[in-house]
Chains A and B, each alone.
Chain A
């Protein structure tokens, strides 16, 4: 019987870089960490690194790592983990043979297709995206997608997480955690859902994104939080964002080195603090817009960088969530869909295990429910075109070819009846005629997607959390 995870199975990854090229990037990053070092703004991380043997300058907070130290600490990283759902049906093994998708985060506005304008996001938008995310068949992981501007800044991350946990059974990824206290509260919440903190260490129901600050800085609050994640074995997506030409060199290889150094630096800090803490190589690099310096998520260079990130994760033999869809179109629609369609296929082929980015436009800031549905369709196309090509007696069907022979057809063969069920059928568009399209109102694809999103939102009933666990989540927030 096939599982939810089977939906995301893809063929064996290909290599896009030579071993010698990956080694050169890795060795260069080791050189940077040994000679230049990295500024670590978290005293907890610095203390752990110092105990492990790193050289810490207490005046500048710059930490230098020897190659031996990096190799020793990295040897403790689990190479394969399972991201757990709220129920086991939604467990996601990270075994280099799956290609999963998360929602994007963390936007600040919501697109109104009627007025063609933006409005500020609120908590109800998080609930809706969790419900829709739960319903979308090709979304693997839910991340609260927007900031709840109607909730105080003190608790908005926790409230968003609660709404997410409440409305989807899929794995939860949290973002925007800026203090260790906020991390501890979220650990309590995830523990309440899975049963206990001890159980959470085994069942990774929640993972956390932690960004580095390029070039070569680990933020204080977010890195303190990363140490809390490590203590509780919450997998951390280490998300470097070095931007070519701005916060990284203006070449793909150079920016890969900066990103790799930052990733190793935080991964090693976690291992020094809590040996065996799981992490994912989770970069989201881009080139800058040469005119403004802005993040340019839909650029071809972004794909090159993401491919390089995945290659470096494979080099380290660690789970990988590098790259994603989520282009830079200012509004949802054609350009966003083109960019997302171009961003995904090479990353499915190279072996990216988790792709970020369903549903937000404008550099991950603008939520669109219709775009969530369109992106789900793009993912479906990518996955269903990256399956293994089965070659066996049944699939080769030599006898059948001989039997049908010359000039007849395969339509009424039982072999066809059996296998036609495997053909991918779009859930968003059909193959009806021009006349049928004209008669049904000549609707644009985004209109169709919006209607589908609203229908799913009104009809889908996620499996709710029981009252006891819900009360436990509420208690954590009330006491925060």
Chain B
């Protein structure tokens, strides 16, 4: 297939749940294309439906209307061609770390020899820094280590794309920074098309090529798109100290605080036409207090 076709195409996705007061529309008319090897982050207020979109792409939530096309094929159910890292690592506690990764590897590489499969699982576990902990059970690991296993498990499937559902949401600040690095290192080697959900603005800017802002629910949809123009590989200090980073963050925060309830034609912003707060949020707080 051609290099220019999108790796993932979301076409007018809609999710409706039946409720006592009639159908509740969570997500409506959500359309987005991801280029091959692109890292896109969905950001929005909690409960806006960003996780629902991710879950629909994963095939774990049924699609009420619209379509998902992954690498030119309509995707209708879950499958190992999409590696998922959940917010909680979802490791099976009765299996060793190694067996948790092997469970997926055996499913995907059923034609490979036993040695090849073992090597693959071992490779990904050592890349995420768990070379010495493979025989341990998940219960013996810290939250951060468990999430490393979750990342290794997703990459070891060598999927067509990666889905990350607030993967660092439950970690402390330092562990979060460490794991963002682990993720970026792995991602650079594989260049997997990635769709991530987060509510951490800094994380979104640091990791993504594009940040997609969602409007508030119900009937949440695409609000704005922000293209992040930092060269890769990115260095954390460089990105954080760049004045552009602050400008990106102002744009995102001002969207979340001031524009996320509006419904306009989705517009793409780049570093040339960034928006910022219509009024100084600090000054506004002062007047509110007074």
Is B one of A's binding partners?
no
**CB within 8 Å of B: which residues of A?**
none
